[in-house]
A and B are shown apart, each in its own frame.
Chain A
Amino acid sequence: MYIQNIFLCPHPMFVNMCCMRVPCFVSHNVSPRKWQDEYSPIDLFSHAPKSGHSSQTQSNSISSDREEGEDGEVEVLRMVGECFSKYDCINFDGNETQDNIHVGLGNAMVEYSDGEDRSPMESHEGSDSEKEEMNDPMERRSTMNMKDPGGIDHEILLREAGTPLYEGSPSNRLTSTLLLLVCCTTFAVPNNFVDELLKLLKETILPKDNTLPKSYYEAKCMLMKLGLSYDSIHACRDGCCLFRKDLSDAAECPTCHKSRYVDNSKTIPVKVLRHFPLIPRLRRMYSCTRLAELMKWHVTGKSEDKVMRSVVDSKAWDHVNNRWPWFAKEERNVRLGLALDGVNPFKNQSLSHSTWPVIMLNYNLPPWLVTKNFFIMLALIIPGKESVRDKNVDVYMAPLIEELQELWTGIDCLDGSQQNSQTFKLHGILLWTVNDFPAYGLISGQVTKGHRACPVCGPNVATRRSKALKKNVYLGHRRQLPMTHQWRRQSSMFDGQPEMRPPPRRMSGREQLRYANERHEWMRNHGGNQGGQTADPVHEHGVKRRTCLYDLPYWKVRVCNEAHYVSGSSHLLRYCDWTFSYCDSQYEISNCCELLRRIF
């Protein structure tokens, strides 16, 4: 059995925080384990081995150890420790600790944001120096006072954890508030009720001098300090640009010259895009032991009898593995899905207001958890009132795409499930997007109505304009039949013609790019504002623009289909240009040759 070393504050949240650009307080040796076998879901997270007895004695030894020679500062920390020791049994192995402390109360102010990508571990290697710092309360104080750029104020956190609920209470302010909120959230009670409950508890039930928050708002503010924040990015009224980077100080949009702020104001923005950074969220996920274990489910979850049971068994998944073996080698690398859809946030359907949340799905998880609310990550909230349009969807998506690019090149991440909490390079890939059909057109930059409504077939779709119905009908499904099928020759039952055309050719990713460029050229030559004219090449091939997804280095992909559709895989199917190429050209060509060889 592994014995773990938790030196001071045992709360894994601080390990998390280490990943959230905050001082790193502690590391621990967590025994590698098969969670399903040894741990029931409930106690998965308590870092104690199952034998409660030994951990008890050990935790006693830590407290006695700590108490000698520590002053008030440590007192606070110890209180935090005690607060969380209810969640995690503290273990301390007296024999081993002095050598095995890995991260001390850190000078490890790890800056992920500045692009240097320092490993959190690099910044404080050498256990000896740590030990010294640990023993120096002044050093610790300076670290603790640091406020991290993400907005998590640790001093406040520690203060909350150290405040007892009332004189002589077994619980403290933080714990009791959290428990109350969890209860209220899981049962989805109204806000008013939470307000009322807190008021009741505070003023009537608990002793007079209690510290319980007096309203839901106050409790929520406290809770928000424990989570990750989101960025509010100001946007142009028409979605021409986001006011960030170079434009962060601009007062008006450089394209349409509309003001960034509402009239007569210098501070209230017209439109705000909410961006929930993906990378810190993934880091946090890996720092939780149980979640980190779950993120590796896809290795064990792959079906062995070649029957597809989840996306893990799909060709697209295998394609990623074959195409980028280095990506497949690290099982912790994440595979994501992107969902984009519009929603009317009001109950009243007659109010037209269209908010577009962008949601990330994490396909590393077991399929029964992928779609659980807790695991669905919100990435962006694109504000209404007008719905997103072709011309501005790329602008709004930009922050997310940048993050995905960064994720592809790799980020440093701390693995909480491993012994020693080692860092590793985490990579991520976007497998496909999930949309309804109109949103699909939006995100793939293609047309979803009219002559060229099929985004998969592109210019090759068979259609007929019906004057009587004033709409296009898409017949010609006999093209999908084998060439020798008798129905192909029967004309009277179908549309009056024998059908001898081969199945429609799928548009390849490269073709799509070429068409997009063509359209772009045409638009530029025609003053940029003539879209929809008869001569517009979009009527020819149905590609409107080069979508922002092509900015991802791996997305040279034929996005396939449907109301929900996909991006890619290698396996060329029946037709020679089903190029799912995540292709560099070499790859695509060789594949096509291979196919042609097979066909002819």
Chain B
Amino acid sequence: MHCEKNIAENVMKTIFGEKDTLGVRLDMKEAGIRKHLWPVTGSKPGSVILPRSSYVMTKKERDVFVEQVRALRTPTHYVGQLRKRVNVDGSIKGLKSHDYHVLMQQVLPLCVRCTMAKEVRTTIIMLSRVFRRICAKTIDPTTIEEMRGEAAIALCMLEKEFPPSFFDIMSHLVVHLVEEVEICGPVHTRWMYPIERYLKTLKGYVRNRARPEGCMAEGYAVVEALGYCTEYMQSYTVTTRRVWDDKEDPSMYDEILEGAERARRLPPDLQQWIHEFVLNNAAPLEEWRR
């Protein structure tokens, strides 16, 4: 979770140019790599010019990117409202860690299309793909070797395209994340998301600011006792809610559509195109196509 969030944050800052500072360029000079990006002295005395780098979006590309993020429509509760995180000046700020998760998995590969150089774009898409595989709900153990190779390649591509300053310890840990998936299985019960959520619950028990720990302990004890008591109150069906229930909350598995519905019609040519695509590619029609 944190690893993914930190890397996504890092990527965003890098492509938005927030991390492309003089220090980064000097570091390249120090390491003796990418000569074309080294800072050069400007015409005015004391001024320094940083040559344009491929990993930073131009103003125009950035506008396209931000516009796409803003226009994104997702199922309800799929992600926090990303469009509200886009500021007037085109920066994206105040994302929560789950927003970064969705950003990394879905939004980035979608929105970087048509922006930046092809290599940089592919790198980001590749990285996103690695995280998508790590976070998959089901994992085929036979594909793990492939996953490991993919992670290595994605990191090498990053190394090629992004500045060295990008590589803090978090990016190194991606390799180990894959190993971890191999050993411990899917991440959904292993990552910090549920724990962080639970910490919020604990925090909610604090009523007396002078004794936060005591409040947490008491609150937990009460809810726990109540939970076990309700175990024996199964025949009370008057209230449907319980402290825990084996059944999911229906609002969680059914998508709730919000807003007034409006019928839309696809443009005829697009409709035609989709039809053809389906007919040409649907697996059950294989023998008819032959």
Q: Could you list which residues of chain A lie within 8 angstroms of chain B, going by C-beta atoms?
A: 11-13, 16, 41-46, 84, 86-89, 178-179, 181-183, 185-188, 191, 220, 223-224, 226-230, 272, 274, 276, 284, 288, 290-291, 294, 306-317, 337, 339, 341, 343-346, 353, 355, 357, 359, 361, 363, 367-376, 378, 381, 383-384, 431-432, 434-437, 448-449, 453-454, 456, 461, 464, 466-469, 471-475, 477-478, 480-482, 487, 492-496, 560-566, 568-569, 571, 573-574, 578, 580
Contacts and interface: CB of A to CB of B under 8 A. Distances in A.
Given A311-B189, A494-B160, A562 B231 contact: no
A475 B164 contact: yes
B103 to A, nearest CB: 17
A492 B28 CA distance: 12
Given A311-B186, A315-B182, A367-B188, A561 B173 contact: yes
Contacts of B183: 314-316, 560, 566, 568-569, 571, 580
Contacts of B214: 272, 274
Given A44-B234, A178-B226, A566 B180 contact: yes
A272 B33 contact: no
Contacts of B168: 471-474
Given A481-B153, A487-B156, A227 B228 contact: yes
Interface string B236-268: 111101111111100000000000000000000
A407 B164 CA distance: 48
Contact of A473 (B164, B186, B237, B244): B164
A228 B224 contact: yes
Contacts of A492: 33
- Complex A-B, nearest 8 residue pairs according to Cβ-Cβ distance, in ascending order: A227-B225, A314-B185, A371-B194, A374-B244, A561-B176, A480-B152, A345-B212, A468-B26
Interface stretch (B43-51, B74-82, B132-140): B132-140
Contact of B239 (A89, A182, A224): A182
For B6, B151, B245, which residue has the most chain A Cβ atoms within 10 angstroms? B245
B196 to A, nearest CB: 7
Given A308-B138, A315-B182, A182 B169 contact: no
Interface residues of B, number: 102
B112 interface: no
B126 to A, nearest CB: 13
A41 B224 CA distance: 19
A208 B32 CA distance: 88
Interface string B13-33: 000000000011011011111
B144 to A, nearest CB: 9
B173 to A, nearest CB: 5
B233 A480 contact: no
Interface secondary structure of B, over-half rule: helix
B225 A337 contact: no
B152 A477 contact: yes
B11 interface: no
B217 interface: yes
Given A309-B186, A474-B168, A384 B180 contact: no
Given A227-B228, A306-B141, A477-B175, A561 B234 contact: no
Interface string B142-157: 0000001101110110
Contacts of B225: 223-224, 226-228
Contacts of A274: 213-214, 216-217
A478 B152 CA distance: 7
A561 B177 contact: yes
A591 B23 CA distance: 47
A228 B148 CA distance: 46
30 contacts: A42-B235, A179-B238, A182-B229, A182-B233, A185-B243, A191-B207, A274-B213, A274-B217, A288-B231, A294-B246, A309-B185, A310-B189, A311-B184, A311-B189, A341-B195, A345-B213, A346-B209, A355-B212, A371-B194, A454-B176, A456-B179, A472-B168, A474-B168, A480-B152, A563-B6, A563-B173, A564-B2, A564-B192, A569-B183, A573-B179
Given A45-B234, A381-B217, A467-B30, A449 B169 contact: yes
A579 B227 CA distance: 41
Interface string B197-223: 111011110110100111111101111
Nearest to A281: B224
A307 to B, nearest CB: 5
Contacts of B273: none
A181 B216 CA distance: 18
B27 A468 contact: yes
Contacts of B31: 464, 466, 495-496
Given A224-B221, A309-B186, A355-B212, A376 B243 contact: no
Contact of B23 (A41, A341, A346, A468): A468
A42 B167 contact: no
Given A88-B232, A359-B195, A227 B186 contact: no
A343 B202 contact: yes
A493 B191 CA distance: 35
B1 interface: yes
Contact of B221 (A16, A228, A346, A467): A228
Contacts of B222: 181, 185, 220, 223-224, 227
